[in-house]
Amino acid sequence: DAGVTQSPTHLIKTRGQQVTLRCSPKSGHDTVSWYQQALGQGPQFIFQYYEEEERQRGNFPDRFSGHQFPNYSSELNVNALLLGDSALYLCASSTRGWYQETQYFGPGTRLLVL
């Protein structure tokens, strides 16, 4: 059983560019959450997708957007990249339901903005 997978593993962009990160959830999971982990920090919640809609959102600007596909996979898009967007982006999958559901994380995509 494949766990959560993310692509690409690493990415280098320049300021002002746009980036798309991809995530495939664990088999049987229908919900995808995205987190940003800056160097030396704990992950910060960006948003969560379920039934192809954004259900919850953290304190991130509209430059951060996402999408979920019918097969439950998801994309994270970041527009107008800033140097401060350099971070590890983590995807987590779970089943929709009570808050006690465990989120399983992928290995992450490391984004460097120059």
Q: How many residues bind to another protein according to rule CB under 8 A?
A: 28
Angle at 87 between CA 84 and CA 91, to 5 degrees: 130
61, with CB counted inside 10 A (0-12, 13-18, 19+), is: exposed
Task: Report the C-alpha gap between 85 and 79 in whole angstroms.
Answer: 10
Of 24 and 103, which has the nearer Cβ to another protein?
103
From candidates 26, 64, 103, 113, binder to another protein by CB under 8 A = 103
Residue of 58, 60, 65, 95 interacting with another protein (CB under 8 A):
58
Residue 57's beta-bridge partner residues? Answer: 47
Task: Pick one of 1, 39, 42, 84: the residue that binds another protein (CB under 8 A).
Answer: 42
Binding residues for another protein, per CB under 8 A?
4, 31, 33, 35, 40-45, 47-48, 50, 55-56, 58, 90, 92, 98-100, 102-108
